[in-house]
Amino acid sequence: MIETENKVEKEVLPEAQTDGATVQEKPKENTKQDNMEKNQDVPKKKSHLVRNVVIAAAALCVVGYAVSGNQNKNKLSPEKTDIIEKLKENTSLQSEYFEQWDGTNYSFYKGDDWEVRYSEENVSVRIAEPEIQECFSACIGTDELGNDGTFAYRFTDNDINIYFDTEIPEGNLTIVMYDVGKDEYTLMIDGDKYTITDELKDYLDQYGLREIMLNDVNEFKDDLSSMDLTTQDLLKLDNADIAKYLEKGK
């Protein structure tokens, strides 16, 4: 009996009658947990949107930085441009391509007096000096020295190279190197370096070769000074800078 009565009550509850009217079942109210779940869906959608915007903005920044970096890399500074233009106003700028090592040298010629040369390895000035031919012709015993009447002064090393291509008893002489700071001469013969004999050092000192070459270097520096330049200014450039400058002018 108890079980039956309970069963009937359960069946009547969904549609209990009051004064002949049917009482409809109440809509299910949202629980606190339901509201929390709904509220959690909205931030998720917003967070996805915010994240996508941030990623897009970051990507634009990276692209913008890369483009800007590329442009700056290919752009000469005003200081370098000024140095090149001061040289150009007083010299003739020429380039020479060497196929064997796929490189280009750039030179600023001041008539037949000197040539500032930029290669991939260094920067130097080649100065014309007829005394070189006379000095070494007398001690070597031949006019066939393979020298073009110039020597090269290298700013960074503070040394002088005199280039030859001539045979001497010891082999093929290609370079006479002079260290200005140490007052030392070295010979390059068949690709090897040798110190010079005391007799040759005495001969070169008596001839005054050191003084002749250093006087030429000082005159070159005076020329630079008249252009409002120094050797330190020249060292701020390399051949890649000059290539950029010429490309810009095309």
pLDDT tens readout for residues 183-207: 999 999 999 999 999 999 999 999 9
CA angle 77, 78, 83 (to 5 degrees): 100
**Nearest to residue 176, comparing CAs of 203, 113, 156?**
203
Supply the mean pLDDT for the chain.
Answer: 81
The angle subtended at Cα 41 by Cα 28 and Cα 51, nearest 5°, is 175
Indicate the residue type of 233: D
Q: With pLDDT > 90 as the criterion, what percentage of the chain qualifies?
A: 64
Among all chains, which residue has been given the structure tokens 């140095």?
83
Is the pLDDT reported for residue 35 higher than 70?
Answer: no
Which one, of 91, 93, 136, 100, lies nearest residue 118 by Cα? 93
Task: Dump pLDDT digits (tens) for 139-177.
Answer: 999 999 999 899 999 999 999 999 999 999 999 999 999
Higher local confidence (pLDDT), 167 or 57: 167
Q: Within 10 Å of residue 13's Cβ, how many Cβ atoms?
A: 10
